[in-house]
A and B are shown apart, each in its own frame.
Chain A
Amino acid sequence: MFYREAGQYKTTYQADMSVFPILQDRIGLALIIVAALVLPLVAGEFMIASVMVPFLILALAAIGLNILTGYTGLVSLGTGAFMGVGAYACYKLSTTFPAINILVWIVASGFVSCAVGVLFGLPSLRIKGFYLAVATLAAQFFLQWCFVRVPWLYNYNPSGAIEVPSRTLFGIHVTGASATPTTRYYVALAIVIAVTWIVSNLVHGRVGRSFMAVRDMDIAAQLIGIRLLRTKLLAFAVSSFITGVAGAMMVFLWLGAAEPDAFNINQSFILLFMVIIGGLGSLIGSFFGAALIYVLPIIVRATPETFGLTIGAATVEHLTYLITGALIIFFLIVEPLGLARLWQIGKQKLRVWPFPY
């Protein structure tokens, strides 16, 4: 009914090539952004601090992984560690140079993570497929080891953890204990929107096409003149930049403090699941995946309570594992392209509604 594109003629290639060619999509996107902006006015503190902020940050990390795995076809099991690199870099930078704007350091820590990512991406020229997935485990375990064994990284803090210093932006506290959830939410939202927009530009152009070409048929890509190593390293660079920024945000805008264990292999798996369930090679899918996987435990926890049952925290965790695993298998069977594909199908149905096709 409302979702019709009849009558929307595209008269230029520019209009045809825009990211949201259909007017209703553009309106929808604007509505979502407005909703995200007014959310703190209506939602409670728990909603903002414990649901929305983590969701945004994990979605960003999932986008980072999606660039590598979904767009370029390089499976990584070390995403958690790259988030760690971002977090530790941001911690070191902001405690060494406290005078400089924290946003600068969040972005800078992305570049640190980017450099480390490129380094660990180097073997990808020779090593392919599953072999590469295992090679990324080397990054995961080595970096995690560094977070524990190199005291310089956590400023010789006896607890071995990193604690976020209080930093202000235009006189308002944005990190540390005195920052309100609403402020942290807006900062996270701004970064996520900006990065998503830039990534969207990237994947819709020449660079994105060469990523996908490498993913779909690397030999043909090579014979077209796409340089494999350069493209793969670029994917590693972009991906680990984004995961690094997400990692820095995770500690500075969400957790407030972190131990090395926050960046362990399970974190890497969880992010991979978000990408798979959300949809490989889809930006909106990364948001869907993050929402589902992050919100799932909250629902599992809340559901029995609404029926007056109480179950132990351990049981909740086990159930979460079970359901997450089952969901992954379910999605792979029903729709290997994930929630993003279901979303597309839904839109297609809506376009022709009330007719079947």
Chain B
Amino acid sequence: MSVAAVEPATAAGETLLKVENVSLSFGGVRAIRDVSFDIRRGEIRAIIGPNGAGKTSMLNVINGFYHPQAGRITYKGATRRRMRPHQAAAQGVARTFQNVALFKGMTTLDNILTGRTLRMHKSFFWQLWRYGPALNEEIEHRKYCEEIIDFLEIERIRKEPVGRLPYGLQKRVELGRALAMQPDLLLLDEPMAGMNLEEKEDMSRFILDVNAEFGTTIALIEHDIGVVMDLSDRIVVLDYGNKIADGKPDEVRSDQKVIDAYLGVVH
């Protein structure tokens, strides 16, 4: 794939997020067992592993939707037992979802504008009148959202309700909504699942552009190993909730444990 040629622009910065000894279980099911890894500012970090390895749960822990039973999370230098969803969002963690989680009844534009919620500060009182400060604010954010729409090439569907859009476009709108938050850390949960080759290439390009142009740190889960190897700077491999490998794509590729996990060697 041609995107492989793009050199990661800002790899190997300071540590943005550090996950230490995190364990998470639901009743008797242990989804994550004592996993530690870090994400450095500006890199593209992939989390891979077979189905049920705990990848999505890991993202849920990072942005505070699940609360781990043990472990610590250090984000932007502050160490916490757990994140809270609102806190994570306020501190610049944005997210897309495995099964598209758009606001189906709203238009593309409204979905992306909703991503700006935390940056809109005009009070309820001003919202009641709309004309005046609230509308000015609205217009200012509309401009920003239009830039994202432009960047993702979704101008035509600006005013379409997203429920009616095809899957590939929905994924793109969802990325747009996450970008509207101007995140420092962008979590992408299988951004290319169910896409054809062309759509995957588009999405890969967007991810690399976001990383290069906005300097956004990205953590992504993806099953297409080819794409992962090409895109990411470093890879964490999870299997049955355990971390089995961590390193640069080449190192991970040749790791025996990773090969075993993917080929299904009996544990």
Contacts and interface: CB of A to CB of B under 8 A. Distances in A.
Direct contact of A and B (CB under 8 A): yes
Number of chain A interface residues as a range: 20 to 34
Contacts of B102: 216-217, 220
Interface stretch (A161-169, A206-214, A310-318): A206-214
Interface string B69-92: 000000000000000011011100
A198 interface: yes
Nearest to A71: B105
A201 B117 contact: no
Given A209-B113, A212-B103, A202 B135 contact: no
Contacts of B94: 224
Contact of B128 (A201, A223, A224): A201
A222 B101 CA distance: 12
Interface string A177-218: 000000000000000000000100110111101101101110
Given A14-B135, A201-B128, A225-B86, A209 B114 contact: yes
Interface string A9-27: 0001110010000000000
A14 B117 contact: no
A349 interface: no
Contact of B101 (A204, A205, A212, A219): A219
Contacts of B89: 223-225
A13 B139 contact: yes
Contact of B106 (A207, A209, A222, A234): A209
B117 A210 contact: yes
A217 B65 CA distance: 14
Given A222-B65, A223-B65, A227-B86, A216 B115 contact: no
A64 interface: no
B41 interface: no
A220 B134 contact: no
B120 interface: yes
A112 B177 CA distance: 38
A12 B118 CA distance: 24
23 contacts: A12-B139, A13-B142, A13-B146, A17-B138, A201-B127, A202-B130, A212-B105, A216-B102, A216-B104, A217-B101, A217-B102, A217-B104, A220-B101, A222-B65, A222-B85, A223-B63, A223-B85, A224-B89, A224-B94, A224-B177, A224-B181, A225-B86, A227-B86
Interface of B: 63, 65, 85-86, 88-90, 94-95, 97, 101-106, 110, 113-115, 117-118, 120, 122, 124, 127-131, 134-135, 138-139, 142-143, 146, 177, 181
